[in-house]
Amino acid sequence: MTARRLETHIHPDDRLDPGKAGPQVMRRVTVNVAESPIAWLASRGMLTEAQLRAGERLRADYERAGLSARVTMRWDAAPPARSRGGARASDASLARMDAHRRFHAAVDHTGPGLADICWRVVCAGEAIGAAEKAMRWPARSGKLVLGLALDRLAQFYGIS
């Protein structure tokens, strides 16, 4: 049985108060690199650092926009009390709308032939073999097409 590698990352894009300038408290997140198909590919030298970063940016926008299917009730639906000094609900919804806009612009930038593999592998977390089978592509063509799609995403996000 192999042990799973865990890495801890600090996400500077996850600001607690988007309107506040200067340093803020960031949250620490522990990530299992075996969970992400693109991290698995990158750890084996099949993706460049720019391709990995572009894929992770797309996945972050997808999750921030709340585009994935819900499996439970939304507990944050109630508006925050005005007496508390927490973040306003409008800030959260503006960040969500911005992520939604960015996600769709990024997918549109990749093009119609490449957007499918991006969504399946990067956002839905499908393995490349499963994505190839679902799209009825020849075996071992998914890595090449995914690499082209991630190159376009890196161009969109300005990652070199």
- How does pLDDT run across 12-37, given as a tens digit for each residue? 555 556 666 666 666 666 667 557 88
Q: Residue 80: is its pLDDT beyond 60?
A: no
The DSSP 8-state label assigned to residue 5 in this structure reads P
The length of the chain in residues reads 160
Residue 87 pLDDT grade (very low, low, confident, very high; cuts 50, 70, 90): low
Q: Which of 39, 87, 22, 56 is nearest to 159 (CA)?
A: 56
pLDDT at 156: 97
Report yes or no on 152 lying in a domain. Answer: yes
pLDDT at 93: 82
Domain count for the chain: 1
pTM of the model: 0.68
Report yes or no on 104 lying in a domain. Answer: yes
Q: Residue 144: is its pLDDT beyond 60?
A: yes
Contact 129, 142 (CB under 8 A): yes
Mean pLDDT over 133-160 rounds to 94
Report yes or no on 80 lying in a domain. Answer: no
Report yes or no on 84 lying in a domain. Answer: no
Report yes or no on 62 lying in a domain. Answer: yes
Residue ranges making up the domain that contains 103? 6-66+89-157
Report yes or no on 11 lying in a domain. Answer: yes
Report yes or no on 148 lying in a domain. Answer: yes
pLDDT at 28: 66
Going from the C-alpha of 12 to that of each of 29, 46, 50, 54, 67, the distances in angstroms are 11, 26, 18, 15, 22
The residue type found at 31 is V
Report yes or no on 82 lying in a domain. Answer: no
Q: How far apart are CA 45 and CA 68, in angstroms?
A: 29
